[in-house]
Structure 1
């Protein structure tokens, strides 16, 4: 099953973040009177129309127990993490190296202890090493790089799944605000999913303010050096697109290693 995320773009259009589309999210090409082709400037999104992520609640206890039930065949053999007594305190540094440069992450246990616990376990088992980042979106309103599927198809997971955390758990399940887009700020690390509580190994790195419903677990931030790397990747564009789009990166991106600490 493909990991998905929805974003509201300039006029409320939905952008689909999945595994293998090359749809352009920006304006189409048009001709001038001379008959030559030009690409219009990308539309902008007024972020002031959208709310911010909710405040992060203080943890109720210094540890929690997490559940990681089996779900499908693993794209790369790994063990599910230990879910007992998972810390809700502090941060975890992760140094990712890619063929385009370093991407440093700081994972936040207070926001998403079960997600951080899973990501750290996968990184320590080498799950992310030598794997592709299969999708990039450069469309205004959704600017991110998606990684974490060793198969490179956008369908692969680690063989288990787990529940959403922040910001989803800041709302009551019946709260209509769960369907209203908010701004996921530049520098956010969040989980891709295939619906509520289907988190696995795929994650996305936000390199410009993006608009999403609060259904995608936020679990960390990206270093400034990492944002520079992401902007370099984005500048190469989307495969087969001459305008801002959503698909595979023009220049293939590989996570060479992800090291904790």
Structure 2
């Protein structure tokens, strides 16, 4: 597996099971800084569980999780809250507050976690909305927006505190090809303009190849392949080939 020098996120021998189901199995993962890394794998294959370990929402049964060099497994609530300030997250369904306007949604983390003035918050919100192509849309309610627009509002909110790391959970799920391409462009631009580390959970191969500096494939609780998109596309492992080409026949059993 490709090694990352001074990774911003590192999982070492992380295992997690729920009942008799082994979801993560002595998993090793090193996410490079200031790049877009995409974790691919089957639906229900543990990608979201992996994401929850990265942000400290789940603790492993064994192993260590490092964020910016700090093992977060042993941290209490106060320590985890401090570490989570390094993260922004775009959830699969954007997870906007339906009773708040677009402006209020993006302003929410600033009001909760900073002591910025009303005018400072206004400037930041307008800047973030502009950066995702929604300038002047702050007055709208989430119910008035398309799925792609909701995700862009979610990204603006995730970027409000200018996090070091932005997590994307299936960002193109449920979107048409044109809107998926727009979201892919936003991910690339977010990394380039803000210098953030972007970690994307996806099973969308086309989006993965369009956005990733690094691809990690999760299968049966382990990272079975990693590297730049070109090396994943040409990987010799039949499991990787079956998945990225979407073939029914192969070692991955269709159940």
* TM-score past 0.5 threshold: no
Greater helix share, structure number:
2
Greater strand share, structure number:
1
- Which bracket does the TM-score occupy, shorter chain normalised? under 0.3
